[in-house]
Amino acid sequence: MNAVGTRRVALVTGGSGGIGRAAALRLAADGMAVAVHYAGNRAAAEETVAEITEAGGAAIAVAGDIADEDAMAAAFDAVESAFGGIDVVVNTAGIMILAPIATFDLADLDRMHRTNIRGAFVVSQQAARRVRAGGAIINFSTSVVRTQMPNYAAYVASKAAVEGLTLILARELRGRDITVNAVGPGPTATPLFFNGKNEATVDALANAAPLERLGEPADIAETVSFLAGPARWINGQVIYPNGGLA
């Protein structure tokens, strides 16, 4: 029993927009109390919180750089203080910078890997210490780990690292009744996806999957909902919701 009755409690990093926002809304619709994490866009996070609470749910906004262990410890503390514990951690926060290996700016490489690798590690570390029995930890990768598209090398390198740490954490939490999985979306209609792409590129990616469309944030949130709730026998896996792309 926690501060919001029998509701389970979820923390969604990057929950102020895109896939993270869709995941926060879906978990709230599933009956969970939700902490909507943001790094810089407080207004967007509070809009998500307002949408959840207006629908009868329980939600708060929490802030912090996911790569800063002190900031994330404080964020986890805030969730536990508000709701009595944490059952589900969904780590969608990340950045994507695209360029060929030969010309990639190493400062951009360091910045992206700080968020995507160190950030995933910090969030996973806090989750491993705090998620209650029966809970779930869900990190985010990308289907490009499998499709291996040019210009994605630095981003894929960061997400392959996330997959590796996720699968090992699942084994390290033996006996805790906590599942640990990763979600690797295909092309999904979010601002992060559209950034820097022309219409022809978007159309080509939309038509690449047999279902001939881009994924929607709600499609990915459906997978998160499954892993966060009923999927108690799926553990130490990477799920690729991508419409059959690869």
Q: How far is CA 49 from CA 55, 66, 127, 142, in A?
A: 10, 19, 22, 27
* Maximum pairwise Cα distance, the chain: 55
119-130 and 153-172 helices cross at what angle (nearest 10)? 20
pLDDT in tens, the chain (246 residues): 344 557 999 999 999 999 999 999 999 999 999 999 999 899 999 999 999 999 999 999 999 999 999 999 999 999 999 999 999 999 999 999 999 999 999 999 999 999 999 999 999 999 999 999 999 999 999 999 999 999 999 999 999 999 999 999 999 999 999 999 999 999 898 887 887 788 898 888 889 999 999 989 999 999 999 999 999 999 999 999 999 987
Structure tokens at 107: 């400062």
Q: Which residues are catalytic?
A: 155
Q: In 3-state terms, what secondary structure has residue 181?
A: strand
Closest CA to 45 of 56, 58, 35, 55: 35
Q: In 3-state terms, what secondary structure has residue 132?
A: coil
Q: In 3-state terms, what secondary structure has residue 50?
A: helix
User: Taking a C-beta distance cutoff of 8 angstroms, is the pair 86, 79 a contact?
Assistant: yes
* Strand locations in 112-155 (E): 136-140
pLDDT at 195: 79
CA gap 17, 122 in Å, rounded = 21
Q: Which residues pair with 36 in a beta bridge?
A: 12, 61
pLDDT at 5: 56
- Rounded to a whole number, what is the distance in angstroms from the first to the last CA of the chain? 42
pTM of the model as a whole:
0.94
CA gap 219, 23 in Å, rounded = 10
CA gap 12, 87 in Å, rounded = 11
pLDDT at 198: 87
Query: Phi and psi of 134, rounded to 5°?
Result: 85, 5
CA gap 191, 100 in Å, rounded = 21
Contacts of 13 (CB under 8 A, 6+ apart): 20, 37, 66, 89, 90, 91, 92, 93, 119, 123
At the second CATH level, the architecture of 9-239 is 3-Layer(aba) Sandwich (3.40)
* CA angle at 223 for the pair 217 and 42, rounded to the nearest 5°: 45
Q: In 3-state terms, what secondary structure has residue 185?
A: coil
